[in-house]
Structure 1
Amino acid sequence: MADYYTLLTDAGIAYETACKAAGTPIKLSQISVGDGGGAQYNPAATATALKREVWRGPLNALFQDEKNPSWLLAEVTIPSDVGGWYVREAGIWTDTGILYAIVKYPESFKPVLATSGSGKEFYIRSIFETSNAELVTLLIDDTVVKATRAWVMSYLADELAKLDGKQSVRVAATGNVVLSGAQQIDGVAVTAGQRVLLPVQTAAKENGIWVVANGAWSRAADANVSAKLTSGLMVMVEEGAKNGDSLWHLVTNGPISLGTTALIFEMLAGRTGIAPGTYKSLTVDKYGRALSGENPDTLAGFGIKDTYTKPAIESMIAQASALPVGAMVAFPVNSIPPGFLEVDGSVKSIAAYPSLAAFLGTVFNMGDEGGGNFRLPESRGEFLRGWDHGRGVNIGRGIGTYELDEIKSHSHMLPNNPNNNAPGSGSDGGEGAAGYLETGRTAMEGGSETRPRNLAVMWCIKAWNAPINQGNIDIAALQALAVQATEINRGTAKIATQALTDAGTDDSSIVTPKTLRWKVSFLIAPNGYVAFPSWLGGLIVQWASTQVTTNGANGGTGTVTLPMAFPHASFGVIAIKRTTALLNGAETYQAAPSGLAQAVISIDSASGNESSGTRDVFYLALGN
């Protein structure tokens, strides 16, 4: 037997048997300590009291051991104001005064301040085994019992572990995890001692909070028994690529049997993968989290099915237009609204106005419209008349046909009877009728036609449902106009630059008037010039009349200013005598450029005896 121990007394066993038979609980209420009569001894099961009791008080705690359910642990704290003796024995008593168990306790002195110079609380824990531990009840007087620090901490830990809020875990697994060894979970390397939430194990009964180990994992202390796993349990996840910073809760309803019940965990709050932003359409889970977001720009994108699409609405508008294609409307101003054409007998393209062409057909064609065309009716200057259509008022008319003007058949006669007899009273009722003359006609009156008062209007026909559909465009017809324009074919062409115009080699561009006029200048006068454009080489032709003075036999020279300075070069000057009078001898006129803006004209005498004086000279200069 061990040196120190606790054993049930014979009286205690008999009491336990009686309680079991009666189905009543075993009620333990007090513990006593003694000094063993002054010496250590070995208690026996036959004892009914301590050898010498020195103090008795209520039990502080009585509970089952976690690892050995048949073991009971009894605890008591002896106050600091009692003592002055040794403790060598202890006894646990029932509420009826029976010594239920006796303890051999290691000899310990319990001081008291009054006599020993110091004082302390004295804590005693006794462990004993019983076959009926589940029937044992602790009777406590709350006004007397004082809890130990260890008991309080243990009690608090147990109670906290039963709460729904659990200590956070480092990561939450995204798939099935092998419950052994350090490993990578949700992008995080977990090591021994770290807490992990397993919410998606293949065997759902394995879900829960676990502690990583180098070997086999174990469930966390706050979630390792059924009592600590309650429906609504919540735990925060600290890290992880997918599940980091998320809150999970247990949605399995109780009762829960750990290791048997499937534990279902769901994310209550956390990352869903949707980027921050403003969305018109959201997918939200049952916890109100946005799982996905879109910004559709159509009704279909919003899932709205009980409405019309844009093409359907356009079609309905076209069909429900107040005026269908082919309707004729009179307008009192010279302005054709969108969707209409003037009813002027003109030829139109079937491709440009397919709806109107289908409506009119070839009713008004004259045979010269050309392929792919149709003709409008002619309304200018015409009165419109309702088609007879079987009424018998305007018999024989076909719809859309023209009818010439006409006056209904009638006659006019002048009375020649002072008695104002009625016509036709003669023998034949005609010529010679009483009071009338057949030849008594009125003079011609009126204009070129018979007409009522009227307002001039412009009749137009609905050609398309503007602005919804302004006719189909024949791309093939336009394609011919999109080719390069030439002298033969109509098409498109680009505008030539001044450099292209000056080069004169490009035949696919069009020269604008401004480009043609570029650097063209002229002065049409006795002293004038013509400056050709740059694309013609920029040639400049100048002319002027001037006077040169001679001194007789030696001739003479003179410098003249040109009407326009040459921008680049002066090619040469030609001088011609303009004097009409004969001089004494022959003269030679010469000229040469002396600069871009000036020329020198010289007169040489051939005979040497010319008279002095001025000479009228005309010159012509070339340059660019």
Structure 2
Amino acid sequence: MSQTYFAILTDRGEAKLANAQALGTQVQYSHMAVGDGNGNLPVPDRLQPALVREQYRAGLNELKVDPLNASQLIAELVIPENIGGWWIREMGIYDADGDLVAVANCPPSYKPQLAEGSGRTQVLRIVLIVSSTAAVQLKIDPSVVLATREYVLTTVTALLADTNPVMAGAASPGAAAKAARSDHRHPTDTSRAPLASPGFTGTPTAPTPAATDKTTKVATTEFVRRAIGDSEGGIALPVSAATDAVTDFNALNQPGWHPNLLGGAPGARNANHPDGQAAIGAGNGVVNYYWSLLAKHSNNLFHLALPYVSGPDLSLATIRFRLLGGGEYSSWRSLWHSENLKEATKEEAEAGALQGARWLSPLRALQLLRAAAANANEALRGVLRVATQVEVDAGALDDVAVTPQKLFNGALIVTSTYMALKLPSWLGGYILQRGSVSIAAEGGASVSVTLPLAYTTGYSAIATFSYTGTRVENANYAQPRDKTLSGFTLDNQWAGNGSNIAGNIDFFTFGK
């Protein structure tokens, strides 16, 4: 006999699973829903986008690989006792994008709620056979999970059966089959040192503090070696102790690191400041404060000034240096590199009036050359920019070029049984269609018309009745009905006086 109850992946579920397998990613199943099938037992359809009539949806309580079959996924939903009052005939799984990825039917089961005098917590499961369970993310929101009796019994049984629980005390297992905290240490354990005045043995270790740490943390051998600057560690430079706005930069004549920040505000800087005494605007690679590092041999000095930066100077400030030889300092010089220079903006390049330190990329250079070329007009050859489709549709500019593609955008001509013309977007994108059909005399005479181009929003339709032959008295007229975006039906109507005859109906439509 055929199978009545079953679960399948929807077309979206199949596509997402196949895509995840191909790209090495995962699909996240997040919710499960139930419905009453609108009073009937539904047959799962891979093309359905939703349940027939959904009654309840919630986050998955559990999503796992079947321990007895590695190609099967088990999704579980728990419905609390205060939810219900309807039948359950269909179930579905939704992913994190809100798409129905799996659907199933089930034997009808009534879910009561407490207000009806009876209630129960209902556990529902869907078992899916997939080609790769690795392509499904087994992740559940712990805030919505309810522990089932099976889960509790399985977990507690495993804990109570463990005769060697994780412990921080002696390594040997205990005799009793009881669970213990992972940080448990028995009070009689003497293998560990006390917190107060511990006496370490062996080779104890500790975390290495930062090089600038001045707290009461334990100094490791690594910290000490770095502090003294030996061959296996860097020199630990002390942090700035003060901001000095008085000392002359020329007064620094001893080798070593000078941690105080020397500088001062613009206009009142220390003497012989690397950036001079004048106030210079932000964004020009100028800072107010510097640290100093000096190297000395005999009476010759190398003075390196390291900038203290903030705000707009962050990406522009440079390291400055100078030399002292024969009792005379050289001027301050900068250590430049590509990151010290800002690229000119498109506007700066096209203006051709660059200020400050800027550089031109090939694109900016091309933009400068294009901007420098003469703009074409009705009396002068030159360069024109190609207009965007929005500008063509607006029809306001007179100094841009229109390409055939943008001029023809959206236009379409159809000549088949009927004729259609779609205007380009700059003419509104309207659609005009016409045609003619032969029709019998009134008395059930009608013809269905399928338009060459379907409308998207709406349209108007007119139709007229015509015939050939000897003139007769008649009252026939054309009547469109059952209009849709893709067509309508034409009727040959007779008013009941004169002759009822067959003929032709010509129609015309206009809209978008």
TM-score under structure 1 normalisation?
Answer: 0.26
TM-score under structure 2 normalisation?
Answer: 0.31
